[in-house]
Amino acid sequence: MNTHVRINAFSLLGQTLKNIDDAAFQTLTEQAARENPWFTKENVRMGMDGIIKLLQKERLEQWVSSYNLRDQSKKIALVLAGNIPLVGFHDLLSVLISGNNALIKPSSKDSVLLKYIIKTLCDIEPSFHDKIELAEQLKNFDAVIATGSDNSARYFDYYFGKYPHIIRKNRTSVAILTGKESEEELATLGIDVFSYFGLGCRNISKLLVPAGYSFDKLYSTWEVYQPIIHHHKYCNNYDYQKSIMLVNQIPFLDNGFVMLHENAKMVSPISVVYYEQYKDERDLSEKLATNEDKIQCVVGDHERATVPFGKAQYPELWDYADGVDTLKFLSSL
């Protein structure tokens, strides 16, 4: 199975996902939600749409053309996260498109969707049956790609440190506001904040705003996202975080479904968005540089932003997590 065959198979996978009928998709999302209540139908659809965008044949060809890919058939252990639907798909795609074999430890929170994707891919190209293995214990592999929290990364380092590896830790994303944003830009920023309930590393959990910034316009444009409070797990988090701040007399802004809290930290709890004021461009640059190792992407209409408003959840194939080129790593083994 050469690169051309693999690209065609993944391109067909994208078309198959795009054309999935409503009844099958409904059944799939119900099963995924039973496994992980955060996986609503809307969030699964968003995750699928992101994958469909990646799997366009022209994009796949453009992506792999920069690498010297050989059918080296190394066995790559994948430890996948489960915070948002199919978050580990890009790693699986990278391993298989490079001609390697995937030994997968799926997340217990995202096995339904992953198994559906694998079955669909193998139905399209049966040769993949011999290149994909699901396992609870990882043995006899050549390299590792593991994603988890800062705590789990320490265990990954201990267990996998002797192998060639990519180990990812907690990251989050920030948005730069200048005060000149239109209502449309602020509304699309809400997509980056509220999609997946804020659980992804590409979700905005921190706003960098100019000194004296008024949040009135921001809050009014975000009213369209108010229905998020009706999700029971999100609402429980909102109530809990609000009670903590009230009890501790911590100042915060609140519109009934999301709270804004001035804080120098990067990773905010669910239902809370941190913000920090910057005095000038130099101060802004220093704040970004200080937290560079915690930032996945920077959103905004600013020279230091890497992603436009509303596009954080739709990375390109070459937008690698943590800035580590996965295909370069795999092709160098």
**CA nearest to 324, candidates 188, 186, 143, 101:** 143
Q: Say whether both 154 and 186 belong to one domain.
A: no
Q: Say whether both 155 and 118 belong to one domain.
A: yes
- For residue 333, being part of any structural domain is answered with no
Residue 169, amino acid: K
What's the pLDDT at 173?
A: 97
Give yes or no for a contact between 330 and 91, defined as CB atoms under 8 angstroms apart.
no
- Contacts of 141 by beta carbon, 8 Å cutoff, 6+ apart: 75, 76, 77, 103, 163
Q: Is the dihedral of CA 29, 232, 268, 108 positive or negative?
A: negative
pLDDT beyond 80 at 194 = yes
**CA nearest to 276, candidates 287, 266, 286, 262:** 262
Mean pLDDT of the chain: 94
**272-278 vs 204-210, strand pairing mode:** parallel
- For residue 12, being part of any structural domain is answered with yes
101-105: strand order across its sheet: 132-134, 101-105, 75-79, 143-147, 165-168
pLDDT for 129-149, tens place per residue? 999 999 989 999 999 999 988
pLDDT for 210-229, tens place per residue? 999 999 999 999 999 999 99
Q: Say whether both 205 and 93 belong to one domain.
A: no
- For residue 45, being part of any structural domain is answered with yes
Q: Say whether both 176 and 158 belong to one domain.
A: no
- For residue 216, being part of any structural domain is answered with yes
**Residue listed under structure tokens 């007399």:** 249
Q: Say whether both 187 and 97 belong to one domain.
A: no
Buried-exposed string 141-155: b where 16+ CB fall within 10 A, e elsewhere: bbbbbbbbeeebbee
- For residue 256, being part of any structural domain is answered with yes
Q: Say whether both 13 and 131 belong to one domain.
A: yes
Backbone angles phi, psi at 173, to 5 degrees: -125, 155
**Strand segments (E) across the chain:** 75-79, 101-105, 132-134, 143-147, 165-168, 172-176, 204-210, 253-254, 259-262, 272-278, 295-299
Domain boundary among 170, 191, 226: 170
Q: Say whether both 177 and 161 belong to one domain.
A: no
Q: Say whether both 75 and 133 belong to one domain.
A: yes
pLDDT beyond 80 at 30 = yes
C-alpha 173: how far from its chain's center?
10
Containing domain of residue 36, as a range? 3-170
CATH number of the structural domain spanning residue 198: 3.40.309.10
In this structure, the number of other CB atoms found within 10 A of the CB of residue 308 comes to 14
What's the pLDDT at 148?
A: 84
Angle between helices 41-54 and 3-18 (to 10 degrees): 150
- For residue 99, being part of any structural domain is answered with yes
Mean pLDDT of 70-83: 89
Q: Say whether both 34 and 149 belong to one domain.
A: yes
Q: Say whether both 121 and 215 belong to one domain.
A: no
- For residue 155, being part of any structural domain is answered with yes
CATH number of the structural domain spanning residue 110: 3.40.605.10
Q: Say whether both 206 and 288 belong to one domain.
A: yes
Q: Say whether both 161 and 206 belong to one domain.
A: no
pLDDT for 105-126, tens place per residue? 999 999 999 999 999 999 999 9
**259-262 vs 272-278, strand pairing mode:** parallel
Specify the pTM: 0.93
| 130 exposure class (CB count in 10 Å sphere: 0-12, 13-18, 19+) | exposed
pLDDT for 146-176, tens place per residue? 998 878 878 888 888 899 999 998 899 999 9
pLDDT beyond 80 at 49 = yes
- For residue 325, being part of any structural domain is answered with no
Domain total in the chain: 2
Helical spans, DSSP H, in 19-128: 22-35, 41-54, 57-64, 89-97, 111-124
Domain boundary among 142, 170, 198: 170
Domain boundary among 135, 170, 205: 170
